Structure 1
Amino acid sequence: MQAHPIIVTGTDTGIGKTVFAAALTGALHAHYWKPVQAGIEDDGTDAERVARLAGMPREQVLPEAYSLATPCSPHLAAEIDGIAIDPARLALPDVAGPLVVEGAGGVLVPISRSETYADQFARWQAPAVLVARTTLGTINHSLLSIEALRARGVPILGVAFVGEPVEDSEATICAMGKVRRLGRLPVLDPLTPKSLRAAFSENFRLEDFTA
């Protein structure tokens, strides 16, 4: 298996990006890194949630470069904490094997008053998976996100959908955006490491993420 970093980004917040990142991390037996954590949910940080859902050793989850108190956009959360996010601290970690890196919210979420996550992705020059929901509005959000990534020269590995099947929306996004359709992760109830592992295996091809 070829070792390389993969960026997991999304079209919006709350669309299942962290769940997909957990599935991908587990399937690749990868390290996981969320550079900036802003706020802590009832079930812990995204890193803690990924570790549980991926069923991975905690040492494969790398510590955040910034852990911010307020659950809002990282640029504002940092200002509230009285700090500035330094892009130099966001350099990709050097690890053995695959690395899954998760952004926050959508591709144009700001990390400072002058830069977005997409600008940071451009520095990394790692392939990005765009996670998109399948509900109404996803075509617009997805195509705008694809344009924003391409405008910055970020390589796009493809789109991973989350939600109930909506064939026309999924096909239209990938055809008009000229991106690969990687698969669709259904909404899982219950959401467990076992159900997530099975859903990823049934709906995605591992070789699409390792070639």
Structure 2
Amino acid sequence: MNKLFITGIGTEVGKTVCSAVLTQYFKADYWKPVQSGDLEYTDTHKIESWTENTVCHPETFRFQLAASPHQSAREENTEISLEQFQLPKTANKLIVEGAGGLMVPLSDEIFMIDLIEKLRIPVALVVRNYLGCINHSLLSIMALKQKKLKLEYLILNGAFPPDTERAISNFIKKETVIIRIPEIDQPTKDSIKAVAEQLAKTNL
């Protein structure tokens, strides 16, 4: 794994916590292309706080309004285009974290999945257990297949009923690796490091 795009089946599924774990595990750099809202404590700030010695590259866009990026951009009389995004230059591995899910609009014409397609890097899909997560997971996997984007990892964040996990995992290709990350109620540098060390035993 040299570069990896972390996306989710929706909002609030734990992408940033999972990004922190993988950033720590791979000793990678981190990049959040678009930050909408929470500028006082961004996802980049969280990664800096929760991981050790991580190089965090600046966001391409930072917006005040906590909303979909296309709405946040419009509030600031800005329009997002794919040409404005360039992968940071680094000799290290790189974790890229998206905003929301695959179909989050960046403008009226482009979506988060279009950014992944432009960057052409493998994907890790974060799944959290809730009523409807099977539908959201399978739709996300279908969208990635349609765009011929490689699903490198399926990340099961937290506990899952066996029936739910089976329905989702049966839908992915054999080469996709399943990562199980336990519930981390209060992320800290120590708790993130502990989970990363547990992952090291699985030889991702």
TM-score by length of 1: 0.89
How well do the aligned residues superpose, as a CA RMSD in angstroms? Answer: 1.8
How far 1:206 moved relative to its partner?
6.6
Match of 1:6 in 2: 4
Q: 1:159 aligns with which of 150, 154, 179?
A: 154
User: Between the two proteins, what is the percent identity of the paired residues?
Assistant: 33
Counterpart in the other structure of 1:26: 24
Alpha carbons 2:153, 2:179 under 8 Å: kept: no
Shift in Å at residue 124 of structure 1? 1.3
Give the total of aligned pairs.
203
Rounded to whole Å, the distance in 1 between the matches of 2:27 and 2:199 is 18
Matched, 1:178 2:173: yes
Distance 1:146 1:34, change over 3 A: same
Distance of 1:40 and 1:100 partners within structure 2: 20
**Residue of structure 2 in register with 1:114 after alignment:** 109
Q: Distance in 1 between matches of 2:65 and 2:75?
A: 8
Structure 2's unaligned 5+ residue stretches are none
Q: Output the amino acid matched with 2:9.
A: T
Counterpart Cα distance in 2 of 1:172 and 1:84: 39
CA-CA distance at 1:83 after TM superposition: 0.5
TM-score of the superposition, structure 2-length normalised? Answer: 0.92
Task: Tell me which of 68, 90, 99 is aligned to 1:104.
Answer: 99
Please state which structure has a larger fraction of its residues in helix.
1
> 1:184–1:175: structure 2 CA closer, same or farther, 3 Å change rule?
same
Aligned mate of 2:131, from 106, 128, 136? 136
Contact kept? 1:182, 1:205, Cα under 8 Å = no
